[in-house]
A and B are shown apart, each in its own frame.
Chain A
Amino acid sequence: MNQTLGKSLYKKFQNNTYLVLLLPLLLFVVLIAIYPLFFSFRISLFDYRLTDPNQTQTFVGIENYIRAFKDPIIFISLKNTLIFVAGTVSAELVMGLGLALLFAPETRIARFVRSFLLIPMALPPLVVGLVWKSLYNADFGVIPFYLKELGINVGRGPLGELNFAMPAVILIDIWQWTPLLMIIFLAGLKGLPKEPYEAAYVDGASRWQSFLYITLPLLKPTFLIAFLTRTIQSFKVFDIIYATTAGGPGNVTTVLNFHIYTVGMTFFDMGYAAALANILLFVVTIISIIYIGVMSRQQY
């Protein structure tokens, strides 16, 4: 073999090794993420019902999207989703920060409690939902039992009352996901420099002042990460709702993802369900873009 050719081939390979090494990953991403994305976009332009025995797909253009904007449940579910996101994210941020501050010191008890607080996160949301559903049950559940002992009228139970169903499912989400935020904040707290605190101490700042003027501003990047991660996750909530209220009573806990599930898995109306899913994707993408923008600006 010609020595120069061999050398150039070898060189070429050496220069492009990364391509070969990247190939499995690229293939994986294409199969798992890109293909379904395009497929869902394609079928969102078709009238496609799984239950149709002939499996016909009729091209309808953007009709499915127009239908979405006329669907009264879309607006109800969008509103419910926003309430859910606002409720869970704000409470989880505050409580996560509180817990992180509480358990930041490396005392034996803090370490012990910390590991226990992580358990809810490791449980499947469906299991969590079912457990809470039985805890909430108005007639046989533990929570209404003690509320009744205290002389509080629980009515139809937390999941059955129009005004309490949403707070009740939000509470479940808070219970499960606050520990995640605690971890994120703990990591943030551990990474803070000591010098500003020492300087503040010398200047005679109180603990509250150093928290307010040093800890909080320094935690801002961590705060944003936590906020955006949870917002995106919360937007996509499904399992807790499915396991507890199925969107009820009436429509008060029907979130966007649950509505999509009903359209897709009860009516098997795949074209419309795909259109709805793409709308959700659009909303989440916007949040993600903000997230990435913020992250790249905060080069800390």
Chain B
Amino acid sequence: MRTKTFRSVLYVFLLFVMVVGAVGCTPAVPEPVEEPSAPVETAKKFEGVELTLASMTDQYVAGFRYLIPMFEEETGIKIVMDELGYVDLYQKLTADFVGKTAQYDLMTVDIVWSGEYAANGYTLPLDDFMARDAAEINTDDIMPVAWTLGEWEGKHWAYPLAGYANVLNYRKDLLEETGITPPATQEELLAAAQQLTDGDQYGIALLGAKGSAVAQDYMSFLQQHGGAVLDADGNINLNTPKNVETLDFFGELFNYAPPGSTDYWWDQRETAFRNGTVAMMEGWSIARAGYENPEMSSIVGKVDVTAAPVSAGMEPKYGFGGWGIGINASSDATKQEAAWEFIKWITSEEIQKEWIKHDGAPIRRSTLEDPELNTLYPWFPLLLKSFENGDGDYRPRIPQYSIIQDALGTYVNAFLVGQETAESALIKAQEQIDANIK
């Protein structure tokens, strides 16, 4: 009797496991059946071509979701989008490139990957296309700094798609209450963070999680303090007095950040700002519009934004980042042509306005100066100023970038949790980099 019940429990469990397994094995997205589209007057040159786009799940993914059906309607090209997180995107793309499997025809390319992609020829150089269609694409209108989103040693390995400026978001109400003016220098930022920390209210939100998050935030502060990852000759040199000093400063800022900050990725940092836990946050400009959306923000109308402060006495330079869009070098020629059509279309002046209105980010001067957009997004003049003085190279876009990022990601985090001193952290990071670059 006992064994019987036990057995039946076991069978039910096994059945459950099998069902779960079977469900897990079914493809999540069934291939949608392609319907023949109605004939249109304009000749659709690439009718029926199907492209796959790998997109980072940044805010702008909403822009893709909105615009892709329009593009499909207009051209007959079908685009299947695969939305991936930062780490997954990088790894999946690398595997695709290395294996030459051409699983993705189009991909969003982080600014820091451009050197690596160029060195390995992963993406297609777009220069021939650009020269051919020069009349159509009006490249003069694209902000000079935006070209860093894919340009490497004179060639274009990805086309500018979404430009971000590093800005300082702050809570107007809290700063007014405490009687502080928006910080104009890094030193003022630290002082303000200290003053604004009170009980459950913290001064600033930072990225502290081991991995790309903490590495990128540290590099961003390095830029604002005049430090650098590369020395004058372009060699990786982390252990300099300036870098150590900046790391100590970075660690001091964490005293005025929520206690869990050493575990924050971008999304948790956003949450901390959006739910009102912190008073200030440096971050990419693309998030700005979201603070006025009551569905995901409890600080609507209380936020203002200013240029990211640099250290006192420094010439203002603003961190620039964002995403380009590239074409897989292994895709077949027709798909590459069709992919270029999409790039041309989505970066055109007309579509860029729609792109911005659906959570995209600007790359063109005409977009940034557009009166309608300026009424909708009053912080656009600040963006224009930041772009004009933008620095897209503070995170070195060299082919070895991911090795630098991994080493900084481990040891800056180790410093923040008290495992290393600022100096020993940078020494060990440098050692790890040297061991992995041959």
Contacts and interface: CB of A to CB of B under 8 A. Distances in A.
A155 B255 CA distance: 11
A249 B271 contact: no
A47 B419 CA distance: 33
A164 to B, nearest CB: 11
Given A115-B13, A140-B271, A51 B403 contact: no
Contacts of A139: 258-260, 268, 272, 277
A70 to B, nearest CB: 9
Q: Label chain A's interface by main secondary structure.
A: loop
A224 interface: no
B316 to A, nearest CB: 32
B5 A106 contact: yes
Contact of B259 (A154, A250, A262): A154
A248 B262 CA distance: 10
A157 B116 CA distance: 36
Given A106-B2, A115-B12, A266-B406, A249 B419 contact: yes
B259 A138 contact: yes
B400 to A, nearest CB: 10
A122 interface: yes
Contact of B410 (A47, A50, A114, A250): A250
B119 A53 contact: yes
B268 A160 contact: no
Contacts of A246: 209-211
A137 B94 contact: no
A115 B9 contact: yes
Interface in A250-281: 250-252, 262, 265-269
B271 to A, nearest CB: 6
B120 A53 contact: yes
Interface residues of B, number: 50
A249 B417 contact: yes
Given A111-B5, A111-B9, A248-B210, A50 B94 contact: yes
A249 B406 contact: no
Nearest to A161: B417
B8 to A, nearest CB: 9
A66 B91 CA distance: 28
A153 B329 CA distance: 53
B6 A190 contact: yes
Given A106-B1, A246-B210, A249-B417, A160 B260 contact: yes
Contacts of A161: 417
Contacts of B20: 122
A291 B150 CA distance: 54
Contact of B210 (A106, A140, A154, A249): A249
Interface string A177-203: 000000100110010000000000000
A140 B269 CA distance: 11
Among A47, A71, A106, A252: residue with most chain B CB under 10 A = A106
Interface string B90-122: 010010001000000000000000001001110
A130 B92 CA distance: 20
Given A114-B9, A137-B268, A249-B414, A162 B419 contact: yes
A52 to B, nearest CB: 8
Nearest to B414: A250
Interface string A62-93: 00000000010000000000000000000000
Among A138, A157, A186, A250: residue with most chain B CB under 10 A = A250
Given A122-B16, A122-B17, A51 B263 contact: no
A156 B16 contact: no
Contact of A53 (B121, B209, B435): B121
B383 interface: no
A157 B260 contact: yes
Interface string B397-438: 000001100100011011011111000000000000001101
Given A137-B263, A249-B416, A250-B410, A51 B98 contact: yes
Given A250-B411, A267-B402, 8 more contacts: A114-B9, A115-B9, A122-B17, A139-B260, A187-B6, A251-B410, A267-B406, A269-B436
15 contacts: A51-B98, A118-B13, A139-B272, A160-B262, A162-B418, A162-B419, A190-B3, A248-B210, A248-B413, A248-B414, A248-B417, A249-B413, A249-B417, A267-B402, A267-B403
Interface of B: 1-3, 5-6, 9-10, 12-13, 16-17, 20, 24, 91, 94, 98, 116, 119-121, 208-211, 258-263, 268, 271-272, 275, 277, 402-403, 406, 410-411, 413-414, 416-420, 435-436, 438
- List 3 tightest A-B contacts by C-beta distance, closest first: A138-B260, A248-B210, A250-B414
